[in-house]
Amino acid sequence: MSLPWTNKEVVHLLLRAGFGAAQEEIAACVAHGREETVRRLIAGESLLTQASVLIPFDQLTADGKKALDPMQLADQQMYWLYRMVNSDAPLVEKMTLFWHGHFATANYKVNDVALMVQQNALFRKFALGNFQDLLLAISKDPAMMIWLDVNRNKKGKPNENYAREVMELFTLGIGHYTESDVKEAARAFTGWTYDKKDNTVAFNQKQHDNDTKQLLGEKGNLDSEAAIDIIVHQQTLSTFLATKLLKYFAADNPSESWVQQIAAHIVNKATIGEVLQELFLSDEFYEEKWRMALIKTPADYVAGILKSLKITVSKGHAQAMRKMGQELYSPPDVAGWRGGASWLNTNTLLARYQFAESIAKQMNLKVLASPDFTPQQTDRSEEWVKLWSQRIDVTNLSDKTLAGLSAYAEDTIVHTKQKNSGLRGLLQLVLISPEAQMK
């Protein structure tokens, strides 16, 4: 452990393993040290001395006015965003979002908000657990069964949708199975049904194909559990999953050696949590070239701003995420969100700018004028910019950004007696800076 452990390393970790951090969390993590901070993240323990308690869905109000409706998608989206901002287990929420994109299922086909929330709870339960256990659970999840037409997969008339995606998108990747493997896996998965009227998942033995099947080189009278066991123990699965985890948490283009290092952990460790613990404790994860090197997802951007500025979550914030290209419970298709540079285009950047403007207008001027937002050297414009950037978890500004924002602060804050518009304007500019889009 040769690297230092300062605010910068803590912010890097919490931007990746969570949704940013409030200043008191950063200070607490510096005091904890790297090992204890990572241990708490993996264990789902509060980073602070005193744990907070999430307000239950049925007790949370929307914009301070009315109770949330569990059958309204917008209300459930708001509540999940509330969890991202306020949960004492940020890594659990981050992995819940990861699995939502990995096992992408959307309400526009499922058409049942309760089932989407039920699936969300499943992802949260298995967030850092054993991957095979999660795969077995998701294969019998009602929302997934509707999404990939599992009810239509019957003896004599197998439906290949789930069998194909379980290998192509969930476990092995294109090129590591054959069309014959898809057909044989589909036969193995026959017999499972979801009864929407009774809200029950059951196995119908009469609809299950009991004949011999050959899947990925193994032969036998395979059922769904046997098929999943064969798939999970393919050598390519660990590489496939390691690549996705590294791209999500560490680097857009991780080296082959890094991928294989994480793949080895996936093979040897019992849980995803143990794999991530190795990643977050490694010196490589904190190398300078990986810092501020990933584009923030809309969830990162919105939740991070709300968390760092301690703003109460509202329905409009979840709607802003949709405009930025990430609508919770509605990924675009079975492959999920593409991520990376796809998050930033003309329309989605405009949505980020509009969100930043709305946040600046929302902020209480007493807060912006408080000691927490006032540098010791009030006559130096760059000190205003540096302090405010740190307040939203931006630890490094380019010289160009620093110069531009400092020039604005010089005119609207340092050399004026009417600072109100300048304070809000500076916050907005900091929030839309190139560095604020990165993690």
DSSP string, 14-70: HHHHSS---HHHHHHHHHH-HHHHHHHHHHT--SSSS---PPPGGG-EETTTEEPPT
271 in Cβ contact with 210 (< 8 Å): no
Q: Please report, for the chain, the start and end positions of each structural domain, with discontinuous segments joined by +.
A: 69-232, 298-437
Q: How many CB atoms sit inside 10 A of residue 1's CB? A: 11
Task: Report residue 52 as tokens.
Answer: 């907070």
Put simply, whether the predicted model's pTM sits higher than 0.95 gets the answer yes
Alpha helices in 291-397 (DSSP H): 298-309, 315-323, 346-362, 365-368, 381-391
> Which whole-number Å values give the CA distances from 312 to 211, 298, 306, 363, in the listed order?
57, 17, 7, 11
Task: Report residue 198 as tokens.
Answer: 């009774």
Which among 277, 244, 211, 231 has a CA at the least distance from the CA of 138?
A: 231
417: helix, coil or strand?
A: coil
Q: What is the 3-state secondary structure (H, E, C) of 284-321?
A: HHHCHHHCCCCECCHHHHHHHHHHHHCCCCCHHHHHHH
What span, in angstroms and rounded, lies between the C-alpha atoms of 19 and 10?
12
> What region does 326 belong to: left with phi over 0, alpha with psi -120 to 50, or beta?
beta
Which among 137, 182, 136, 187 has a CA at the least distance from the CA of 163?
A: 182
Question: Could you give the angle at the alpha carbon of 180 between the alpha carbons of 179 and 186, nearest 5°?
Answer: 90
388: helix, coil or strand?
A: helix
Amino acid at 125: K
Which among 249, 307, 244, 239 has a CA at the least distance from the CA of 277?
A: 249
What span, in angstroms and rounded, lies between the C-alpha atoms of 296 and 344?
9
- Predicted confidence pLDDT, tens digits, the chain (439 residues): 468 999 999 999 999 999 999 999 999 999 999 999 999 999 999 999 988 899 999 999 988 788 999 999 999 999 999 999 999 999 999 999 999 999 999 999 999 999 999 999 999 999 999 999 999 999 999 999 999 999 999 999 999 999 999 999 999 999 999 999 999 999 999 999 999 999 999 999 999 999 999 999 999 999 999 999 999 999 999 999 999 999 999 999 999 999 999 999 999 999 999 999 999 999 999 999 999 999 999 999 999 999 999 999 999 999 999 999 999 999 999 999 999 999 999 999 999 999 999 999 999 999 999 999 999 999 999 999 999 999 999 999 999 999 999 999 999 999 998 889 999 999 999 999 999 999 9
Q: Residues 6 or more apart from 215 whose CB is under 8 A from it?
A: 181, 184, 185, 188, 222, 227, 230, 231
Q: How many CB atoms sit inside 10 A of residue 364's CB? A: 9
What span, in angstroms and rounded, lies between the C-alpha atoms of 428 and 161?
46
